[in-house]
Amino acid sequence: MVKTKRKLPAPVPTPAPTRQADNEADDSGSDYDVERYMQPTKVAKTVAEQFPLPKQVRKDVVKRSARDEPEEEESSEDDDDGDLPTLTKKQIEGILQTIKNNKRLVLNISNVNFSTAKEEIEEHFRKAGRVKSVRIPKRRSSGFAFVEMLNPDGFQKAFLLDGSFLDGRQIKVQLSESGKKKSHQKILQLERKNAEIRKMRKKNRVKPEATEVTLVPKVLPKVVERDPYLDKPKTKPPTKKEIKAHNKKVSLKAKFRNVAMKGINV
């Protein structure tokens, strides 16, 4: 018997996809062509766009606005205070006259870290002078403390610590008054005084009385102590000529007078 090979059926040709089918397939699973079917929203015109000004009027408006605007360089100079000098002694006397209890030299220290102790604040302000007391309120909304200086010299130098870093924070040193409770009016008065002090310190950049005051201690020359007996200057004995000149000066009457005072009859 002869084996015959089976013939496979001919493949059925598939119809070519139409454009509509492609568009339906594309639109079914993508969101990229949504914008083509969405109408753009109309933006309402402003009054200036609806009724534009003439060219000459526009130029005048631009010139006036340029004159009225402050220069950026001047504003940057005012904002950047840098290291300000302290107050002069006359200025401190004038400020203390406006305070009732001016015998107590109290300063308000703000932006203090909550973990900073009294001893650390006292040690920091010893650079300016002797510290009388440090008070940290128990109930406080923000970190601040009160430092009382012992003398006016330390009070004057303490303003130089404004802007210094204490326990990782840049502190602010301002004037304050003694007393635990302060009224709203007193707080406003202190704010005005501190604003005046800020202006005075800016003007003191030219005054040598304020710029010469520094926190660097003056190095005094070493004083060598001497023994009053061992370090006495040695006196030379008188010469013969000096003895003769001294004897000539003493008169004979004076010699007799001295002898009579001793009770010797010559």
Residues 6+ apart with CB under 8 A from 92: 152, 155, 156
Per-residue confidence band for 229, with pLDDT thresholds at 50, 70 and 90 = confident
Contact between residue 185 and residue 193 where contact means Cβ atoms under 8 Å apart = no
Mind listing the pLDDT tens digit for each residue in 13-28? 665 555 555 555 555 5
Alpha helices in 114-183 (DSSP H): 118-125, 152-158
Per-residue confidence band for 77, with pLDDT thresholds at 50, 70 and 90 = very low
CB neighbour class for 118 (10 Å; exposed up to 12, middle 13-18, buried from 19): middle
Residue whose token pair is 């360089």 = 73
pTM of the predicted model as reported, rounded to 2 decimal places: 0.55
Mind listing the pLDDT tens digit for each residue in 120-155? 999 999 999 999 999 998 876 678 899 999 999 999
Per-residue confidence band for 78, with pLDDT thresholds at 50, 70 and 90 = very low
What pLDDT sits at residue 86?
93
Half-sphere exposure of 7 (CA within 13 A, CB side): 3
- Check residues 159 and 257 and name the one with the higher pLDDT: 159
> Among 170, 181, 102, which residue's Cα sits nearest to residue 139?
181
236/201 Cα distance (integer angstroms): 62
Residue 199 pLDDT > 90, yes or no?
Answer: yes
Highest mean pLDDT, choosing among 7-16, 32-41, 49-58, 205-214? 205-214
Average pLDDT over all residues of the chain:
78
- Check residues 37 and 120 and name the one with the higher pLDDT: 120
Residue 5 pLDDT > 70, yes or no?
Answer: no
> Among 1, 223, 4, 186, which residue's Cα sits nearest to residue 101?
186
Length of the chain: 266
What pLDDT sits at residue 230?
80
In which element (H, E) is residue 144 found? strand 144-149
109/101 Cα distance (integer angstroms): 19
Per-residue confidence band for 72, with pLDDT thresholds at 50, 70 and 90 = very low
Per-residue confidence band for 232, with pLDDT thresholds at 50, 70 and 90 = confident
